[in-house]
């Protein structure tokens, strides 16, 4: 199976935008690190291969303003944290996979409660989207994924 | 027969019986005998009891009606539509504890596991001895109400065909932990083991209020105003005379507010839940030193264990096995729970590929949980954006119970054949692989920040007491501040229970509504 790269989320056309273009790029880098594809386990599509921006916008409209503001701040803080964790003047989007893993791993395992809660909050919130995807649902229910549903979910795949 | 061709109890409701605030365009001004605020366990039961007694009843529900036919397996969709704040509410204190509350017709009975426990004897004793409720809230007084509800809502233990492996493992192996595991008793008829209680039963097998007392009440003449948020209870001359509400929307950002004024000839029943009731009372001008205080809960903690064989949590009763053997000695109760992957992910260690790979092992996972009869007390206040601020911090003895229960669950999972256990306690390895490693849980720090707690079962904050000096609500279920304003949800409970509270809530609501319906006050106001 080959996977066609998804469109840049910042340019995806849909309804009202919940964040700025750069924030979508950062969200993609951070959330893609938390929920990547794992082809060796049968999950060929990571969260960035799904309509992440659409979900983000839906989330922003569903959550109370303060809760959404908190999540948005977490995404921004994590995106800007590499300087303090890997010592590089770059955002999450500017790092390679290994450094991104290191940043998320360090924050997620921090001994400072509110710091590690940032990753936990993102994990809990975006798992509702990622783990609801057809591939993972199929694995958990012991059936073959329905490819038509992948398309319906907006995933860009080619057999 | 497929669901598509079935007729569910929430189909074909009488014309005009449901007024949906989401589509309401003109103001409402109507009069009923009683107005019931809230359509969950307490409100649904009170409404049905009053309707059966021959009164005209209006039910006001802040959330939408999620019909059986619309139940969505996708967790986010369910959270978005049926849960308060889309499932993102928290208790704020020493740590942040997530809190789940239904906000829809049926309230939390749409999204809970329908577990039935009569109020334990020692709770009646405590309420009598410490809170002076002995003359009103007794086992004998509640017995006929419990019995009637159990019969109407088809209470029985989980049957073989809906048990599922997660629950079977617990029941069959509990003796290895030195206790008795039993099948839960639930309100259900025809459970197909779809393991979807937490997002709504797709078969209307679970007898939540949304498919039982509420539609039954509507068929006997009651009306329900959905997506209608109560602004105030109208109190005149020291007596509740109605409710002023506004239409709302599932998504409050899109709310178009249309006024809904409902006059109550005989009284108002407030059953908006432990968290919302105190703030509605405040908005209505009720003042009492105990209002919003003494909030209690049953915080919970879940632990997955991974087995060689498939457990397949997607089949079986969502919650089907339990033990109360530790309730009195250690103040906790153990249960099973089957979680959809979207919810289980939070309890899976790690991030990145490791997280995703572990997600794919979920078919081999069993999840067992503890609910703690916590001693901690919190408070409830209104905050900006018409929201509720709940402050709550676990007490040290609550954390001792949480840690002991966590170790017990881990040990039992290994005894039952698990090859690894995911404790979810910061400072303890993310994965432990042997009985020896359970020592690490037993030695874990008692800081609540280190534990993945979640709050359910809420109590107090408008507690019942003989005098206004000790509580908000009197022994006749009416507030001390205003006559004819009856509070019947678990906010009146002076303590938590240590067992699942739905049955106690319903029993008390039925008792209250029966007494009020027969009282000279109600009749005289006619």
- Please state the rounded mean pLDDT for residues B418-434: 97
CA distance B347 to A69: 24
Please tell me the total number of residues recorded for chain B in this structure: 526
- The CA-based angle B126-B129-B134, given to 5 degrees, is 90
CB contact under 8 A, B75 and A128: yes
CA distance B290 to A114: 32
Structure tokens at A24: 């979508």
Q: What is the pLDDT of residue B223?
A: 98
- Please state the rounded mean pLDDT for residues B13-19: 96
In chain A, where the domains are located: 16-32+50-55+63-158
Whether the CB of B387 is below 8 Å from some CB of chain A: the reply is yes
CA distance B64 to B227: 5
ipTM for this model: 0.91
Q: What is the pLDDT of residue B6?
A: 80
The answer, yes or no, to whether residue B448 has pLDDT greater than 90, is: yes
pLDDT-derived band at B101 (thresholds 50, 70, 90) equals: very high
CA distance B317 to A5: 40
H/E stretch holding B198 reads: none
Read off the pLDDT of residues B470-524 as tens digits, 9 standing for 90 and up. Answer: 999 999 999 999 999 999 999 999 999 999 999 999 999 999 999 999 986 655 5
User: Contact at 8 Å (CB) between B382 and B388?
Assistant: yes
Q: What is the pLDDT of residue B311?
A: 95
The answer, yes or no, to whether residue A158 has pLDDT greater than 60, is: no
Task: Give the nearest partner residue to A129 out of B76, B352, B356, using CB atoms.
Answer: B76
In chain B, where the domains are located: 26-65+104-153+207-294+460-524, 157-197+296-456
User: Contact at 8 Å (CB) between B425 and B441?
Assistant: yes
CA-closest candidate to residue B396, choices B374, B380, B379, B378: B374
Q: Which fold has domain B157-197+296-456?
A: Glucose Oxidase; domain 3 (3.30.560)
CA-closest candidate to residue B421, choices B377, B473, B365: B365
Q: What is the pLDDT of residue A4?
A: 43
CB contact under 8 A, A127 and B251: no
Residues forming beta bridges with residue B301, ordered by sequence position:
B370, B453
Q: What is the pLDDT of residue B72?
A: 85
Question: Across chain A, what does the average pLDDT equal?
Answer: 85
User: Contact at 8 Å (CB) between B64 and B214?
Assistant: no
Task: Give the nearest partner residue to B96 out of A35, A117, A139, using CB atoms.
Answer: A117
CATH architecture of B26-65+104-153+207-294+460-524: 3-Layer(bba) Sandwich (3.50)
* For testing contact with chain B, the best of A42, A101, A140 (most B CBs within 10 A): A140
Chain A residue with Cα closest to B451: A113
CA-closest candidate to residue B50, choices B66, B68, B37, B63: B37
Read off the pLDDT of residues B373-400 as tens digits, 9 standing for 90 and up. Answer: 999 999 999 998 788 999 999 999 999 9
pLDDT-derived band at B411 (thresholds 50, 70, 90) equals: very high
Q: What is the pLDDT of residue B73?
A: 82
- Which residues of chain A neighbour B195 with C-beta distances below 8 Å? none
The position carrying tokens 């082809």 is A39
Task: Give the nearest partner residue to B363 out of A105, A123, A140, using CB atoms.
Answer: A140
CA distance B2 to B246: 38
User: Contact at 8 Å (CB) between B345 and A127?
Assistant: yes
Whether the CB of B279 is below 8 Å from some CB of chain A: the reply is no
Please tell me the total number of residues recorded for chain A in this structure: 159
CA distance B21 to B31: 18
Give the distance from CA B438 to its chain's centroid. Answer: 32
Q: What is the pLDDT of residue A142?
A: 79
Question: Three-state SS for B213?
Answer: helix
CB contact under 8 A, B356 and A36: yes
Portion of chain B with pLDDT greater than 70, in percent? 97
- Please state the rounded mean pLDDT for residues B121-135: 93
CA distance B512 to B526: 19
Read off the pLDDT of residues B207-225 as tens digits, 9 standing for 90 and up. Answer: 999 999 999 999 999 999 9
Read off the pLDDT of residues B280-337 as tens digits, 9 standing for 90 and up. Answer: 999 999 999 999 999 999 999 999 999 999 999 999 999 999 999 999 999 999 999 9
- In this structure, the number of other CB atoms found within 10 A of the CB of residue B84 comes to 24
The answer, yes or no, to whether residue A151 has pLDDT greater than 90, is: no
- Which residues of chain B neighbour A96 with C-beta distances below 8 Å? none
Question: Three-state SS for B367?
Answer: strand
> Which of A142-146, B160-164, B456-460 comes out lowest in average pLDDT?
A142-146
Q: What b/e sequence results for B392-409 when a residue is b if at least 16 CB atoms lie within 10 Å of its CB, and e otherwise?
A: bebeeebbebbbbbbbbb
């Amino acid at each position: 199976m080959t996977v066609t790269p998804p469109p840049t989320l910042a340019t995806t056309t849909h309804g009202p935008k919940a964040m700025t273009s750069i924030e979508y790029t950062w969200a993609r880098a951070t959330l893609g690190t938390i929920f990547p594809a794992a082809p060796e386990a049968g999950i060929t599509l990571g969260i960035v291969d799904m309509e992440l921006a659409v979900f983000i916008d839906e989330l922003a409209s569903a959550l109370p303003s303060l809760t959404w503001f908190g999540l948005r701040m977490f995404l921004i803080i994590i995106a800007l944290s590499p300087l303090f964790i890997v010592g590089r003047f770059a955002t999450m989007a500017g790092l390679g996979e290994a450094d991104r893993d290191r940043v998320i791993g360090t924050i997620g395992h921090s001994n400072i409660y509110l710091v590690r809660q940032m990753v936990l909050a993102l994990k809990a919130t975006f798992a509702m989207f990622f783990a609801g995807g057809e591939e993972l649902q199929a694995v958990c229910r012991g059936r073959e994924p329905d490819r038509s549903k992948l398309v319906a979910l907006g995933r860009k795949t080619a057999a | 027969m497929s669901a598509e061709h079935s007729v569910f109890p929430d189909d074909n409701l009488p014309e005009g019986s449901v007024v949906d605030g989401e589509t309401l365009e003109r103001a409402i001004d109507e009069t009923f005998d009683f107005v019931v605020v809230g359509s969950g366990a307490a409100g649904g039961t009170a409404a049905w009891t009053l309707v059966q007694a021959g009164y005209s009843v209006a039910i006001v529900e802040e959330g939408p009606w999620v019909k059986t036919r619309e139940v969505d397996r996708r967790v986010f969709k369910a959270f978005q539509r049926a849960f308060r704040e889309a499932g993102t509410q928290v208790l704020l204190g020493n740590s942040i504890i997530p809190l789940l509350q239904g906000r829809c017709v049926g309230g939390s009975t749409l999204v809970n596991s329908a577990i039935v426990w009569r109020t334990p004897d020692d709770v009646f004793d405590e309420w009598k001895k410490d809170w002076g409720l002995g003359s009103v809230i007794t086992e004998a007084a509640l017995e006929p109400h419990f019995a009637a509800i159990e019969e109407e809502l088809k209470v029985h233990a989980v049957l073989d065909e809906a048990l599922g492996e997660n629950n079977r493992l617990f029941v069959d192996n509990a003796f290895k932990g030195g206790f008795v595991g039993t099948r839960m008793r639930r309100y259900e008829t025809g459970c197909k083991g779809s393991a979807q209680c937490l997002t709504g039963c797709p078969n209307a097998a679970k007898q939540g209020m949304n498919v039982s007392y509420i539609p039954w009440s509507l068929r006997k003449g009651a009306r329900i105003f959905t997506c209608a948020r109560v602004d105030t209870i109208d109190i005149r001359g020291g007596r509740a005379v109605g409710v002023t509400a506004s239409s709302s929307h599932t998504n409050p950002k899109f709310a178009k507010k249309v006024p809904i004024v409902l006059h109550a000839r005989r009284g108002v029943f407030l059953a908006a839940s432990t968290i919302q009731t105190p703030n509605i009372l405040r908005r209505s001008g009720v003042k009492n030193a105990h209002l919003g205080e003494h909030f209690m809960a049953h915080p919970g903690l879940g632990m997955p264990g991974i087995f060689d064989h498939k457990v397949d949590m997607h089949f079986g009763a969502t919650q089907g096995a339990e033990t109360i053997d530790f309730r009195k000695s250690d103040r906790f109760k153990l249960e099973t729970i089957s979680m959809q992957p979207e919810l289980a992910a939070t309890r899976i260690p790690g991030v990145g590929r490791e997280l995703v790979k572990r997600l794919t092992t979920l078919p081999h996972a069993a999840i067992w949980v503890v609910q703690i009869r916590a001693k901690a007390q919190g408070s409830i206040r209104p905050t900006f954006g018409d929201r509720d601020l709940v402050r709550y911090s676990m007490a040290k003895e609550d954390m001792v119970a949480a840690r002991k229960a966590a170790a017990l669950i881990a040990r039992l999972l290994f005894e039952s054949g698990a090859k690894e256990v995911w404790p979810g306690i910061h400072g303890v390895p993310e994965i432990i692989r042997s009985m020896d490693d359970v020592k690490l849980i037993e030695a874990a720090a008692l800081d609540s920040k280190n534990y993945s707690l979640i709050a359910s079962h809420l109590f107090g904050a408008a507690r019942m007491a003989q005098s206004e000096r000790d509580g908000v609500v009197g022994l006749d279920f009416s507030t001390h501040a205003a006559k004819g304003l009856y509070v019947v949800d678990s906010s009146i409970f002076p303590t938590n229970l240590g067992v699942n509270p739905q049955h106690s809530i319903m029993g008390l609501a039925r008792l209250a509504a029966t007494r009020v319906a027969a009282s000279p006050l109600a009749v005289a106001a006619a």
